[in-house]
Amino acid sequence: MGGLVNIHLRNSNESDRTNRFNRRSTLAQPLIRGHYGCHKVLVSLWLRWDQTGLALYRDCDMPRTNGNGGATPTKIATFAAYQKMVEQTDERKQRTVALMGLVGEIGDLHSMMKKLLLQRDNPSFRTELREEFGDVLWYLTSLASLYKIPLQEIAEANAEKAESLYTAGGVIVFDEGYPADERLPRKFVVNFYEKPLDRGVYVKISVNDVVIGDALTDNAHEDDGYRYHDVFHLAYAAILGWSPVTRSLLKRKRKSNSKIDEVEDGARAAIIEEAVSILIFNQAQERGFYTDASSIDIALLKTIRRMVNGLEVKACTAKQWQKAIHQGYAAFSALKEGNGGDVVVDLDLQTIHVRPSSNGNAA
Question: pLDDT tens across 260-284, in order?
Answer: 999 999 999 999 999 999 999 999 9
Domains of the chain by range and CATH?
A: 4-72 (no CATH), 79-166 (1.10.287.1080), 180-355 (no CATH)
pLDDT above 60: residue 124: yes
Q: What is the pLDDT of residue 44?
A: 40
Residue 165 vs residues 107, 168, 243, 289, 322: alpha-carbon distances, Å: 28, 9, 20, 22, 10
Identify whether the C-beta of residue 330 lies closer than 8 Å to the C-beta of residue 212. no
**35 phi and psi, to 5 degrees?**
-70, 135
Q: What is the pLDDT of residue 286?
A: 87
| Spatial separation of the C-alpha atoms in residues 169 and 317, rounded to whole Å | 6
Lowest pLDDT segment from 104-118, 214-228, 323-337: 104-118
**For helices 125-146 and 79-89, what crossing angle results, to 10°?**
80
The backbone region for 242, taken as left when phi is positive above 0, alpha when psi lies in -120 to 50, beta otherwise, is beta
Distance of CA 137 to the CA centre of its chain: 20
| Spatial separation of the C-alpha atoms in residues 363 and 359, rounded to whole Å | 11
Lowest pLDDT segment from 17-21, 42-46, 160-164: 17-21
pLDDT above 90: residue 66: no
Q: Give me the half-sphere count of Cα atoms (radius 13 Å) on the Cβ side of residue 103.
A: 8
Q: What is the pLDDT of residue 46?
A: 42
Q: What is the pLDDT of residue 13?
A: 38
Q: Output the average pLDDT for the chain.
A: 81
Q: What is the pLDDT of residue 71?
A: 52
187-207 pLDDT tens trace: 999 999 999 887 779 999 999
Q: In what order do the strands lie in the sheet with 41-50?
A: 29-36, 41-50, 53-58
Average pLDDT score over residue span 40-57: 41
pLDDT above 60: residue 7: no
pLDDT band, very low/low/confident/very high, at 358 (cuts 50, 70, 90): confident
Higher pLDDT, residue 94 or 15: 94
HEC profile for the chain?
A: CCCEEEEEECCCCCCCEEEEEECCCCCCEEEEEEEECCCCEEEEEEEEEECCEEEEEEHHHCCEECCCCCEECCCCCCHHHHHHHHHHHCCCCCHHHHHHHHHHHHHHHHHHHHHHHHCCCCCCHHHHHHHHHHHHHHHHHHHHHHCCCCHHHHHHHHHHHHHHHHCCCCCCCCCCCCCHHHCCCCEEEEEEEEEEECCEEEEEEEECCEEEEEEECCCCCCCCCHHHCHHHHHHHHHHHCCCHHHHHHHCCCCCCCHHHHHHCCCHHHHHHHHHHHHHHHHHHHHHHHHCCHHHCCHHHHHHHHHHCCCCHHHHCCHHHHHHHHHHHHHHHHHHHHHCEEEEEEECCCCEEEEECCCCCCCC
pLDDT above 90: residue 41: no
Q: What is the pLDDT of residue 69?
A: 52
Q: What is the pLDDT of residue 70?
A: 53
Strand partners, 210: 207
Average pLDDT score over residue span 42-65: 43
pLDDT more than 90, % of the chain: 60
Residue 190 vs residues 158, 185, 207, 215, 250: alpha-carbon distances, Å: 40, 12, 5, 14, 10
